[in-house]
Each structure stands twice: as structure tokens, then as C-alpha cells.
Chains A and B, each alone.
Chain A
């Protein structure tokens, strides 16, 4: 078995910003058929900034930790800043992810981009 970092386990056992947002401005869902993970992000936008973000995730420790740490990284950021977040940044923030779990971090990046896109498309 692989070993998870302390920070990853901390986010897994004590996830931040979990749950739904009522009337969200954007929702992004990313799923990975390899691992069976589903990651759902809800965002609230105010003055071009991510005012609130919450997640619901079905998945392994890495998927849940990615969701949790991502919400912390993104909260308060401008849309442009949020869009710049790459999966490598999430991995770094978690103090590393076992190689076979890297795809979980891609899910985080994907769900965030989809949520922002969802908001942009509704705005039009």
C-alpha cells in the first residue's frame, strides 16, 4: 500500500467546506471512471471573486482531501486566479499524493473549471 501525507489525511478526516450551497452561481461535477470518484463543487460569486465554495465528493481519501484543500485554496480568489490553479498546485498544497492517485487532483481542477464555466454561461 501507498502512504498518504499527514496533510492529506488531515483534510480527509477533517474536511473543510463540505456540503451544498443553496442557489449556487455555478456547479461543476467531475467524475473518474477509473476510480469511481465523483467530485461536485458549488460556487457563489461576488464582485468577480469566489465568495463561497463547497463540495460533495464520493471517493477515496485522496479525492476527499483534494476537494477539501481546493475549497480552501480557492475561497476569496478572483475568477482569473482560480482558473490558474493547476492540479500540480493541489498536489503541492497537500504535501504530495501517491502517484496512482494523481488523477484525483485532476478531478479537482476539472470540477473547478466546470463550476466557473457554469457560472459564466448562466451570466450570459
Chain B
């Protein structure tokens, strides 16, 4: 019997939309020119890249020369954090971030700490929300960068980016009045929201923003960093001076064209998709609580991504759940230590005050464009069976 595959791990990556693939194909075949070449083959690639840049810039209300293509979210976050740190260290060496950031933000920060910078890792509340007052209190005259994610990849909590952006703006103006030269920049990791929630860089008041194509049905290996005009930043990758000298390396034309196509589709379908997935999400949460005892929701019930469900299931372990569900054709993920490289449970779940046991028993279900309503029913059935079975084996579950 062929098992029907149901993909519910869209926060990890999304499948390539066939429309994106179609847009990319010419640039993987006949349109192979190097965009830096003078001949027409190269120039056609250049045109495609610049058109893509325009589409993406328009999407977030940025200027075209504020979009810098990278290899993905991890590079964009490294670029933003280390690039700003290196360019501004003579003014101050303090950076503020949160305890629930992606490793692609936390690890550059840890590395900077080893290299003479001071980093404050802000606590979050039990739903994963940053307290804006806490950000304000943590800012000193040495602070050059605040980096807070737009929405969390594990628990889906959407952070008050507008409020933090306004705060940073206020601090900047206030520094100007006091004639303090130290700049302060605001970076947001928008990898989970780009193409899913409306983003207007002017309304968010961000100076830097990271995004990745493969989270919105585009290809892997392509990302971007929005860098507002005037932000002082050092490149991490030196070479032939591509991307205005800030990110050298021959452009990934097919990837960039695919990214732009993914953005075009998202722009058209985002509102409807938001409604559809929110409905699915709420339906699933309701059904899970109705059908299964001993389950708790991780993250904020309402201030959360429309596609994210993260639960802890008493008496079972996450990796076991994921593998049993996989056997039934369903792909999702867990914050359990057992499935991680490091054998550490999810730092996000621990930061919102969950016990290691709760983190070990967590399951993340993330819906996507290709999730159908009938998939939800199949999933609930499979999840119920899996949990019932594993609880039968478990010494820590008494019905």
C-alpha cells in the first residue's frame, strides 16, 4: 500500500512551487551567462537579477539598492550581526538580542562575545513575547545593534517589531539631541514571516531584515538582507565586488529569479492564504485538545504564525512521535533533545519556562500552501493513534 504523504514541516522548509521552478528553469539551462559579463548572454542574466531585485524591493517597500542577495537566512543573519558589529565597534560594543532567536543569530552573537563584544540576551514571557520596556532598559550608549526576530520558528510567536522599531527610532533621535555619535541599528530575522505576513520596512522601522527563499516555496540557497541606506556595515565575503561590494560572489541567477517569483506569488495569495491557514490552525488546535488528553500548547494562542502549532504531549517523547508519524506518511518535527545534534532540548521551549520534560515531548506541526483540509483529519487520526500507542509503552502515563 502506498502511504499518502502529508507534509507538515513547512517551518523547516517548503516545497518548491511548480510556478517558481518554471521561472527558474531557463536560468539553469540556456540562460547561464555570468551577470557580470559584457556580452548579451551575461546581460540577460543581469536584467533578470535586477528585475527580481525590484520585485522583492517593492514587496517590502524598500528601495532596489537596499536589497542584497545572499546564500540564505543564516548568511543574512551573520552578515547583519557581524557586519554591523565590525563596522561600528569603534562607537560601541554592545548588542541586544533575545533568548529565543534562531541559532543563526545566537551563534554569531556568541562568537562576537568571544571577540570582545558584550551581548544581552533578553528573556521572553511564557508565550515567547519580548517585553519592549525590557529592550528599552537594556539599551545603553554603547548599544549599536538590536536584533529581534519577527516571528519565532519553533513556537510561531509574533514579536512586537513595530514597537521595538519605534523605540530604536526614539533612542536614535535622543542620542542625536545629546550629540552622541554612536549609531543604533535594528535588525529583524524575518525568515519565518517573509511572504507570509505583510512586511513594510518603513512601518516596521527596521534597518536590516533577513529573509530566505526556501521558506516561501522558493529554492534553497538563496536569501537576502535588506540594508537601509546609510547603515554602516562591513562585508563578510570579499572578492569581485558584487552586490555593491558588500557580498562578493557570482550571483545565483536561477535562485534569485526563483525568489522573486515566489515573492510575486506570495504577494498575490498571501491574504487569502493567511485566512485559510489560520482557520486550519485553529481547527487543528481545537481538535487536538478535544481528542487527546494531557496536551498543552506552546507559544501564544493568538499572536502566532497562521501555520504554526506547537504542543507538548505528556508521557511521550518527541522523536518517537515524529518517527511513528513519519511511518504513517506524515512529516513534522520536535524540540526534543533526542532529535537534535547536540542532545540539548529546544532553547526556545526552555526560555518560555517549559520543563525539560515538556520540551522533550514537544511536537511542531507547520502547515503550508499545499496543506489540504482533508489532510487535517488524517493527521489528527494518526496523531491520536501514535500518542495512544506510545503512552501504552510509557511508564509515566496512567489513563
Residues of A near any B CB (own CB < 8 A): 1, 9, 12-13, 15, 18-19, 29, 33-40, 55-64, 100-101
Q: Are A56 and B395 in contact (CB-based, < 8 A)?
A: yes
Contacts A12-B323, A29-B395, A64-B320; is A34 near B315 (CB within 8 Å)?
no
> Roughly how many angstroms separate A89 CA and B392 CA in the complex, as a whole number?
27
Task: Enumerate chain A residues within 8 angstroms of B397, measured Cβ to Cβ.
Answer: 58
> Roughly how many angstroms separate A38 CA and B356 CA in the complex, as a whole number?
13
Say yes or no: is B316 at the interface (Cβ < 8 Å to chain A): yes
**5 A-B Cβ contacts within 8 A?**
A38-B396, A56-B393, A58-B395, A61-B319, A61-B338
**Which chain B residues numbered 301 to 357 have a C-beta less than 8 Å away from chain A?**
315-320, 323-324, 327, 336-339, 341, 343, 345, 356-357
Task: Enumerate chain A residues within 8 angstroms of B356, measured Cβ to Cβ.
Answer: 33, 36
Chain A nearest CB, measured from B167 CB (Å): 38
> Roughly how many angstroms separate A63 CA and B317 CA in the complex, as a whole number?
10
Residues of B near any A CB (own CB < 8 A): 315-320, 323-324, 327, 336-339, 341, 343, 345, 356-357, 359-360, 392-397
Contacts A60-B317, A61-B323; is A34 near B337 (CB within 8 Å)?
yes
Q: Are A18 and B317 in contact (CB-based, < 8 A)?
A: no
Nearest CB in chain A to that of B394: its residue: A58
Task: Enumerate chain B residues within 8 angstroms of A59, measured Cβ to Cβ.
Answer: 317, 320, 338
Contacts A13-B327, A15-B393; is A60 near B343 (CB within 8 Å)?
no
Contacts A59-B338, A61-B319, A63-B317; is A18 near B393 (CB within 8 Å)?
yes
From A13, A18, A36, contact of B345 by CB (8 A): A36
Q: Are B319 and A60 in contact (CB-based, < 8 A)?
A: yes
Task: Enumerate chain B residues within 8 angstroms of A63, measured Cβ to Cβ.
Answer: 317, 338
Chain B nearest CB, measured from A58 CB (Å): 4
From B336, B341, B393, B395, contact of A36 by CB (8 A): B336
Chain B nearest CB, measured from A61 CB (Å): 5
Task: Enumerate chain A residues within 8 angstroms of B337, measured Cβ to Cβ.
Answer: 34-36
Chain B nearest CB, measured from A34 CB (Å): 6
Q: Are A13 and B324 in contact (CB-based, < 8 A)?
A: yes
> Roughly how many angstroms separate A39 CA and B356 CA in the complex, as a whole number?
17
Task: Enumerate chain B residues within 8 angstroms of A1, measured Cβ to Cβ.
Answer: 339
